[in-house]
Structure formats: structure tokens, C-alpha cells
Chains A and B, each alone.
Chain A
Amino acid sequence: MKIIIAGAGKVGSTLTKVLSADGHDITLIDSKKEALNAACQLYDVMGLEGNCATLDALTQAGAAEADLLIAVTNADEVNLLCCVTARQLNPAIHTIVRIRNAEYTAQMLEMREVFGLSLIVNPERSAALEIERLLRYPGFLTREVFARGRLELVEFKLKKDSPLAGLKLKDISSVLKTKVLICAVMRGSSITLPGGDYELKTDDRIYMTAPSHELGKILRELGVITRKVKRVILGGGGLISVHLGQMLEKDGIKVQIIDQDRARCEDLARLLPSATICCGDITDLSTLEREGLSSCDAFVALTGMDELNIIMSLYANSQKVPIVITKQGHIEELQDIIGELSLGSVISPKQLCSDIVVRYVRSMRDTDGESALTVQTVAGGQVQACEFAIGPASLHKNTPLSELKIRPGVLISAIFHEGQVMIANGSSVYQEGDSVIVISTETKNIQRFSDIFA
């Protein structure tokens, strides 16, 4: 497909990376030559220097023949103008726009209609939603939903006293009465899709598929004590904090936001009437202490600086805050280093955003129903989970999984059959009309269901 990406920033270059690896023809537009050159050196794409909202630049980028425009410059208004201009050149073009200003949230639907947008993405809002889900269901580091919310891929870290520590995978049914499947284990920074003889150890990060309604039971069986989150401290008052603050206010959770910029704090106070806003230097950890860090239920590090977020989360962890969530902007590059730190859940807005866009792009290509319904990446992009619908053309229907030749590093973890979630085992079969959840470690190669077979 011919794709134009406007804006070579964090999200733009992440998308460039993923979509060019998928084999699309990508033209990247940016007004800054340096950003453009950096992306063009890394990926096989064409760069175009210019203002992406001009007819001239879009014509040169081939908007007339392009299938999709993704506008992710740092200005919402430029993104919108860019899409409107592109639609002048090519009314059939699909448009994905990033809108991040919280003030526009209320009018998203109207804007979609008026500007003819195919999809609006908001990395900050997606990140806030993700964080809110984690706070509402504490105990897991990440949660990804499949099969219309009936199945989840959850991540948790094995604590020292966990009943699972030291067990082999084939023996875990002695602890967990629920049917679950451990799909992937991250030990240190390396990821494995474990077999039955794999022994779990303390500090492993475990990725497990389980039916959504059983999650509470699983937590109890794992001995994870959860209590309802009542008070959350947000370090940093950026866009995510605003979105998250609004959501948590609705949930009735008390929010405290710390930011060092006086003017920003006043803005926050206006935007979030029931939140407690504190102006203070968060680089000074005693500020956190003064705001009652050690007695809060959750701490979320949300400043624009990854380093500061890491430091704050490490500190919060040392103060025994039950839930710690860390925002990271450069997660793939740093995965090796930060994987071993106790940062709690790590949230990457650009990764979330790119997942959403990639899912859309893959469904656009879908002419035979073979490509994924849902794509989620976890473990900093090292593991990908896709949901595929089984159609009339799908291979190997009604064959027990143990008889299939599936590529190494790929695993069918669950089958969604007639509204029921079945955790896959060797004798499971899938039929037409089902959907299956596939876990893979090679993120770029599984695009169609037929790709999973050797």
C-alpha cells in the first residue's frame, strides 16, 4: 500500500519503522531536515522536506495515488489541515489523524464527520485509558483485551513468595485451578515462549492468557492481595495527567498531581476541579514524600523526561507504593536496560498509538479476511499478540493443534468459539467462525493467519 506519513517525530518514526517492515511504500514528510534524514537512514522510505499541509508537498508525496495518510505532526491543527488538503487531491484516501489537545476530546465525533477522518488517534488519551484500566484492576502490570473483552493477555511479575515460583509449567495446575496459558516469559531482557518443562523463577515477567471473568479468581489463587485504589499521585502534569485525571475523577478516585510549573498547575486546577494540584519540584524526592507518597495506593510517573520517571518510580517502589506505573517515551531502545528495574507497569504512548494505527492499516489490506482483527504488542515490542478470524479460506480447520506445523516462536494461545473462550491445548481445534489468539516473538512477520504455519 502507498502510505504518506506526515511528521517524523516519535510516533511518526515508530510508525515508519513498523509499516516499512510490513513492506508498504512509505513517503515521510517533515519540515525539519534532520528528523527526516534520521528516519530515512534507518528505514527504506522516501523523505520529503516541506510543510505537509500544503497542496504542493502532498502532490509531490503522491497523495493522489496514496491509499492512506497518517498525520502525526506535533500540531493538531496542522494534522487536520493536512488531511483536508489530501482529501482535496484524493477523496478516496483514508486519513488517520493524531489529535492530542484535551480540549478537543469532547468534539471528536463531530470532527471525524466534518473533516472526513477515518480514525483519530490520541496517544495521551490511549495511555490514560490504559493506566486507568490498570488502576481499576490492580495486580497486573499490563492487560490486553481480545475476543470482545472476554479474553485478556495479562502480565505480572513473580514475587519471591509467589506459589508459582520454582514450579514447572506443566505443574502449575496444582496452584491455578483456572485454565490459563503462560505464553511468554521474560527473564532479564530475553523473552522465551516456554515449554512444559520450563521452570518459573522469582522476578520472571509472565505473560498469560486467561478469560476475563476469571481474573479476580486468578489473583486470589496467586495470593496477590488487592485493595481498591482510592488515592493516586501523578508525577508530572502533562496531557496524559489531564486525560487520566478526568477519568479517575469519574471513577471517584482521589487524584493528586505534582508539577513544577506554576502556570501549568493553574491550568490543571481549572481543567480538573476536584483534583489536588501541587506546585513543587518533583526532582526533589522530598516533595513526593510531603505529598504523602508512602501512604498512597498508586503512583504514576508521567513527566516528559524518561530518566526522571524512572527515578521517581524506583523511589516509589522503594517506599512500598502498591501500584507503580511509569511512562516511557523511548521504550524499545531501553528495553534491555529497564527490563530489570522495578518500575512496575511501563506505558509507552507512542507504542500504544502505533498499535492502533498498525491494526487499522492491516485491516485496510484485508481483502480475504486473513489479516489480524486485533494486534497488541507487549514486552516493549518483543512479543506480539494478534487475533485472527477463521474464515472459509483459513488453513487447517478442525485439525488438533498438536498436529499442526507452526513456525518456531509462534503459539496459538486461545480459541474463541461461539462466545466461549477456550485456552488452547494440543487437542484443541478451531472452526470456521471462531477466532484465535496468536502469540509470536517475531513481531513483523505475522500479518496474515497463514503466516503462522511453517
Chain B
Amino acid sequence: MNYKSLGHFTALILLIEAALMLPALVLSFVFGEPDSTVAYLKTLMIILALGGLLWLLSKGEKANDFYEKEGLACAGISWLVLGLTGALPFFISGQIPAYIDAVFETVSGFTTTGASILSDVEKLDKSLLYWRSFTHWIGGMGVLVFLLALVPRSRSGAGFTMHILKAESPGPDVGKLVPQLRRTAQILYLIYIVLTVVNIILLALDMPLFDAFCIAFGTAGTGGFAVTNAGLGGYSPYIQWVTTIFMFLFGVNFSCYYLLLRKKPLSVLKDEELRVYFLVFMGCSLAIALNIRSFFSGAEETLRAAMFQAASIMSTTGFATTNFDLWPTLAKALLVFLMIIGASAGSTGGGLKCIRFSLLIKDLRSRLREMIRPGRIYPVRSSGKIVSESVLASLRTYLTAYVLIALASFLILTIDGKDLTTCITAVLACFNNIGPGLSGVGPMSNYGSLSVLSKLVLIFDMLAGRLEIFPVVALLFRTTWKHQ
């Protein structure tokens, strides 16, 4: 383990976090919230002191060995540190009295989960609400990618920084858009910022500017923290439709937008993941609409509720306009199905990802056909190209890890004595970075009543879900921390 580089990276991440916290500090002045101002100032001091210390410790010549191991550990550690320090404003201001709750809320923010322990969000200071939503936006595209977009081209071993992008970006096969990594990160953030700004403008037409910013951050990062207790139910149908469209858009692989920019719309349409994403979304929306039509008065209202909820869950945002916990079982089951499938690789969303889902199904079909007709070759194809056996093997590994972590978390959660639906959906909603589950953790309830152990497990799940398991699990292995 290259501790110096790791320390250096973590120090940089803390520095960036401090910089990103400044707007919230300014807002606390503007809104006249002295408690929060003090909390932000104290937090900034702690972050800068910690960052400075790490910087000093990791000063000097750094070894050039920065490999997969370091990339994974870098991602895992920085996200953990972000969660622990980002929680300080909530805790120091006393608005979330328990530190574990503050960490839960912040990790939920950074991992773009949107699971909350607050029963009354309106009680929170506005600057804290802003910081809470802004963590979604930072976590959506990833803070390490942000760092990569900023750092100057390193002199030697530049290819190794690719491991960081790989560790933080969702998807089974992370690649660059352009040859230079820094440029790739810049393009990703540019697309992200432009889409967010358009979203803010469209929302601001029909809601307060503050709300527009917070909701747009929640949508862009596919997070799902709302700023009112009614979630998005309190806003106009126009806002709900805009949010539906943008939730869907942020769940699309960003390389599709890059191809659009390069004026290659046809190749975008051929993208298999985009097709699966769109078809699953439309299919489930319609099925849910049919199933819940008795709950609503008109066709528009039914369709709006169904599509909003399908987009919200599939993109793993987690906004709610109605209490879908009251919906018929089929509709709820479809939502759970969407929770697991999740958004696209290379988007800001979580979940298993459409491409994994589609490849795993195809892989299963090929393997079954091979069993029936031994000796024949049934390759798995994606967008017309044969998927290599090593990619398929890593997919199966991922699925195994995914199922095992979900099962283990579920078992631990049942210790609390809550009903099965609550336990299962709490794990699925956190692990897939959605936010609200069903029953005890439904859209109109919250995670506040869970035990500390359950919260710790769910914090782990949220981090593991956002970083796609391996960076977080790697931290638990002893070989990660050995020198060679």
C-alpha cells in the first residue's frame, strides 16, 4: 500500500470538500442562521486541520506504485472521510443531535441515496438543507472524478490514475471518452453541470429558487432529499413532469450524451443499455399505471404518478409524490424490481445497472443452451459485440457479492424486530442508493427509528452500493494494507 499517495489524495479530497462547503457557509449568513454559521466555521477548521495534517504527513517524494489496490483504497477511504466530516455541520449545530444519525444522513447524501432519519425536514436550517442536497450533487458524478478534472497532468505513471476513475465510476467496464483522463473527467462534469443548470432553470419557472436548486441537486445526483415534508407531492404537475424527465435523463449513461455532442445520434440509438433502460422503464410505468388506476381520478394523474415513481425508483433517485406504500402489491413489487435493476452504467444512478442485468440474463441463456447442446458455442453479445469471458466472470462475481451483502445486511436488520418488508426494502433501498423503501421505511416514514447497528449496516450498504462494492470491501482485506 502506497500510504503517502493515499494520504495525499485524502488531503486533497478534504480540501475540495472544504471549498464545496463555502456556499453553504455563505447561505447561513444570508438566511441569518447563527447556529449553522458557527457549525460550518468549526467544521471547516476541523477539515482544514485534518487535511493539513495529512498533507504534511504525506509530503515529499511519493513512490510511483499506484495500482488497482491503491485506486480502490483511495475511493473507499475518501468516501468514508467525506461522510464522517460532511456530517459535522448537522452535528455541531445540534440540529441532528446524534452523530451516527448525522453520518447516516450525510453518507445517504453523498452516496445519492436520499434515505433520511429526519421526520420533519422543514425544521432544519435552510443552509443545512442546502448542504444536505448539495452532497447529492457532489456524490452524483463523484468527488474523485472532480479531483481528476482539476489536477494537472501527472508526469509519470499517469495511467494509474485510471484506477481511481474505475473505482468511483459505476458500471462493469469503465472506459475513457477521450485519450486523456483529465479531459474525460472534464467532459463528464461539463455534461453534468449543463444538465443541472437546465434543470434548475426549468424548475425555477414554477417554484422558489431555493427549492429549485435543492430539488435539481437531488435529481442530478439521483439522490432524492426533498426540502418539504410532502416530498414532491406539494408541487405542481409541471414540476413533477420536469422532474420525471430529468430523473430519467440522469439515469442514462453519460457517454451517450458525449456521442450526441459528437453528432452521432444513430450510434446512441444502437446502444443496448439505453434500449433496455428505456423499455424496462416504459413497461413498468404502464403496468404500474394500469394497476393503480383506481387510486387516481384522471388518466393524466394516473400516468404522472406511475411514471414519476417508476423514473424515481429506477434512476435510484427516491423522490415521492404520493405514498406508494399504499399501492396494490403488484405495483409495489414492480417498484422493488426496479430498485434492483437500477439505472445505467456511467450515470449518476445506482442499483445493479441495466447493462449488468441484461448481460447476466444473456449469459444465463447461453450457459443453459450450452448445457442442452454441449460443444456448441453460444457467445454473449452486447451492442453487436462479443462480450469476453473475463467480463462475464467479473459480472458473476459482482452478482455473488451483491446477493451476499444484501442477504447479510437483511439478516442483521431483522435483529431490530421490524417486519420483513421493512427489513428487505430498507436494505434494497440503501444498497441500491434509492432512499425510501416500503412499510416502516416507506416514503412517508424514515430511518430514524432503526437501531445504531442497523444504521451502521445501512451506511456500509450505501457506500458499497455507490462505489460498486469492491472499493469498500477492499478496505476490509488485510492484503490491501500490506506494504507489498
Q: A-side interface residues toward B, CB under 8 Å?
A: 2, 20-21, 23, 25-27, 39-46, 444
In angstroms, how far is the closest chain B Cβ from the Cβ of A401? Answer: 28
Contact residues of A: prevailing secondary structure: mixed
Q: Would you call A41 and B162 a contact (CB within 8 A)?
A: yes
Q: Does B418 interact with chain A (Cβ within 8 Å)?
A: no
Is there an interface contact between B157 and A42, defined as CB atoms closer than 8 Å?
A: yes
Q: Which of A23, A26, A42, A46 contacts B153 (CB 8 A)?
A: A23
B341 CB → nearest A CB, Å: 29
CB <8 Å contact, A40 and B159 = yes
Report the 9 A-B pairs with minimum CB-CB distance, sorted nearest first.
A44-B158, A46-B179, A25-B179, A41-B159, A43-B159, A42-B159, A26-B179, A45-B179, A44-B181
In the bound complex, CA of A45 to CA of B162 (Å): 10
Q: Is the CB of B160 within 8 A of A25?
A: no
Determine if B58 is an interface residue (Cβ-Cβ < 8 Å).
no
Contact of B155 among A21, A26, A45 (CB under 8 A): A21
Is A44 a contact partner of B153 (Cβ separation < 8 A)? Answer: yes
**What separation, in Å, do the CA atoms of A43 and B158 have in the docked complex?**
5
Q: Is B479 in contact with chain A by the CB < 8 A criterion? A: no
Q: Provide a sorted-by-A list of 12 A–B residue pairs whose CB atoms are within 8 angstroms.
A: A20-B179, A25-B180, A26-B179, A39-B159, A42-B159, A43-B158, A43-B159, A44-B158, A44-B180, A45-B159, A46-B178, A444-B155
Which of B155, B159, B162, B178 is the most central at the interface, judged by chain A CB atoms within 10 Å of its CB?
B159
CA distance A42 to B157 in the complex (A): 5
> How far does the alpha carbon of A80 sit from the alpha carbon of B234 in the complex, in Å?
67
Bound CA–CA A44/B67 (angstroms): 14
Closest to B157 in A: A42
**Cβ of A27: which chain B residues have Cβ within 8 Å of it?**
179
CA distance A10 to B9 in the complex (A): 33
Note all chain A residues with C-beta closer than 8 A to B160: 41-42
B161 at interface, CB cutoff 8 A: yes
User: What is the minimal beta-carbon distance from B342 to any residue of chain A, in angstroms?
Assistant: 27
Chain B residue, CB-CB nearest to A40: B159
> What's the least CB distance linking A162 to chain B, in Å?
36
Give 1 or 0 for each of B173-199: 1 = CB within 8 Å of chain A CB. Answer: 001101111110000000000000000
Of all chain B residues, which has the CB nearest A21? B155
CB-based contact A44/B155 at 8 Å: no
Question: Interface readout for B148-164 with A: 1 if CB under 8 Å, 0 if not?
Answer: 00000111111111100
- Given pairs A20-B158, A43-B158, A46-B175, 19 additional interface contacts (CB within 8 A): A21-B156, A23-B153, A25-B178, A27-B179, A40-B159, A40-B162, A41-B67, A41-B160, A42-B157, A42-B158, A42-B159, A44-B153, A44-B158, A44-B161, A44-B162, A45-B179, A46-B176, A46-B178, A444-B155
Name the B residues within 8 Å of A40 (CB-CB): 159, 162
Q: Kindly list chain A residues whose C-beta atoms are within 8 Å of the C-beta of B176.
A: 46
B294 to chain A, nearest CB (A): 52
Which residue on chain A has the smallest CB distance to residue B175? A46
A43 vs B153: C-alpha distance when bound (angstroms): 11
Instruction: List chain A residues, Cβ under 8 A from B155.
Output: 21, 444
Set of chain B residues within 8 Å of A26, measured between Cβ atoms: 179
Residue of B nearest to A42 (CB): B159
Please indicate the chain A residues that have their CB under 8 angstroms from the CB of B181 in the complex: 44
CB within 8 Å: A-B pair count: 42
Which residues from chain B contact A444 at a C-beta distance below 8 Å? 155
Question: How far, in whole Å, are A444 and B153 apart by their CA atoms in the complex?
Answer: 13
Q: How far is the CA of A39 from the CA of B162 in the complex (A)?
A: 12
Contact between B159 and A44, CB atoms less than 8 A apart: yes
User: For B180, what are the chain A residues with a Cβ–Cβ distance below 8 Å?
Assistant: 25, 44
> A26 vs B182: C-alpha distance in the bound complex, in angstroms?
13
A40 to B178 Cα, complex, angstroms:
13
The interface residues of chain A lying within 8 Å CB-to-CB of B178 are 25, 46
Nearest residue in A to B66 (C-beta to C-beta)? A41
The residue of chain A having its C-beta at the shortest distance from the C-beta of B176 within the complex is A46
Chain A residues with CB under 8 Å of B182's CB are 44
Report the Cα distance A23→B178, complex, angstroms.
13
How many whole Å from A238's CB to the nearest CB in chain B? 31
Q: Give the residues in chain B near A21, CB-CB below 8 Å.
A: 155-156
Give Cα distance in the complex from A23 to B155, angstroms.
Answer: 10
| Distance, CA A27 to CA B153, complexed state (A) | 17
Q: How far is A153 from B157 in the complex, measured between Cα atoms in Å?
A: 31
- The distance in angstroms between the C-alpha atoms of A42 and B181, with both chains bound, is 12
Rounded to whole angstroms, the CA-CA distance of A21 and B152 in the bound complex is: 12
Q: Name the distance in Å between A52's Cβ and chain B's nearest Cβ.
A: 16
Taking CB atoms, residues of chain A closer than 8 Å to B67 are 41
A contact residues around B157 at 8 Å (CB): 42
> A23 to chain B: which residues have CB within 8 Å?
153
CA distance A260 to B222 in the complex (A): 67
A35 to B183, CA, bound (A): 24
**Across-interface contacts of A43 in B (CB, < 8 A):** 158-159
Closest to B160 in A: A41
B86-124 contact mask (Cβ, 8 Å, vs A): 1 or 0: 000000000000000000000000000000000000000
Determine the chain A residues whose CB is within 8 A of the CB of B156 once the complex forms: 21
Complex Cα spacing A27 to B184, Å: 14
A448 to B159, CA, bound (A): 25
A-side contacts of B158, CB under 8 Å: 20, 42-44
- With both chains docked as a complex, state the minimum distance between the C-beta of A171 and any C-beta of chain B, in angstroms: 36
B173 to chain A, nearest CB (A): 12
Shortest Cβ distance from residue B417 to the other chain A in the assembled complex, whole angstroms: 50
Residues of A within 8 A of B153 (CB): 23, 44
In the complex formed, the residue of A with least CB distance to B178 is A25
Tell me, rounded to whole Å, the shortest Cβ–Cβ distance linking A12 to chain B: 15
Smallest CB–CB gap between B244 and chain A, Å?
35
CB-based nearest B residue for A20: B158
Q: Chain A nearest CB: distance from B272 CB in Å?
A: 17
Tell me the residues in window 125-165 of chain B with beta carbons closer than 8 Å to chain A beta carbons. Answer: 153-162
List B contacts of A45 (CB < 8 A).
159, 179
Q: How far is the CA of A407 from the CA of B67 in the complex (A)?
A: 33
Question: Which B residue sits closest to A65, measured CB to CB?
Answer: B262
B347 → A minimal CB distance (Å): 21
Q: Determine how close the nearest CB of chain B comes to the CB of A453; give it in whole angstroms.
A: 20
Which of A41, A44, A45 has most B Cβ within 10 Å? Answer: A44
> What is the CB-to-nearest-CB distance from A419 to chain B, in angstroms, rounded to a whole number?
39
* Closest B residue to A44 using CB positions: B158
Distance between A451 CB and nearest chain B CB, rounded to angstroms: 15
Residues of B within 8 A of A2 (CB): 179
Residues of B within 8 A of A41 (CB): 67, 159-160, 162
CB-nearest residue of chain B to A17: B156
Assembled-state Cα–Cα distance A39/B159 (Å): 8
A319 to chain B: closest CB distance in Å? Answer: 40
Q: How far is the CA of A2 from the CA of B181 in the complex (A)?
A: 14
B263 to chain A, nearest CB (A): 12
CB B207 to nearest CB in A, in angstroms, measures 42
A45 vs B161: C-alpha distance when bound (angstroms): 11
Rounded to whole Å, the gap between the CB of B386 and the closest CB of chain A is 11
Alpha-carbon distance A333/B67, docked complex (angstroms): 19
Question: A42 to B183, alpha carbons, bound, how many Å?
Answer: 17
In the complex, which residue of chain A has the Cβ closest to the Cβ of B64?
A42
How many angstroms from the CA of A2 to the CA of B183 in the assembled complex?
A: 13
Contacts of A39 in B (CB 8 A): 159
Complex Cα spacing A436 to B220, Å: 56
A27 to B178, CA, bound (A): 9
CB of A125, distance to nearest CB on chain B (Å): 30
- How distant is the Cα of A42 from the Cα of B163 in the complex, in angstroms? 11
A26 to B153, CA, bound (A): 14
Nearest CB of B to A428, in Å: 32
- Which residues on A sit within 8 Å (CB–CB) of B179? 2, 20, 25-27, 44-46
Q: How far is the CA of A43 from the CA of B159 in the complex (A)?
A: 4
Residues of B within 8 A of A46 (CB): 175-176, 178-179
Assembly CA distance A21 to B160 (angstroms): 14
**Across the two chains, which residue of chain B brings its CB closest to A33?**
B388
A48 to chain B, nearest CB (A): 10
A452 nearest CB across to chain B (Å): 18
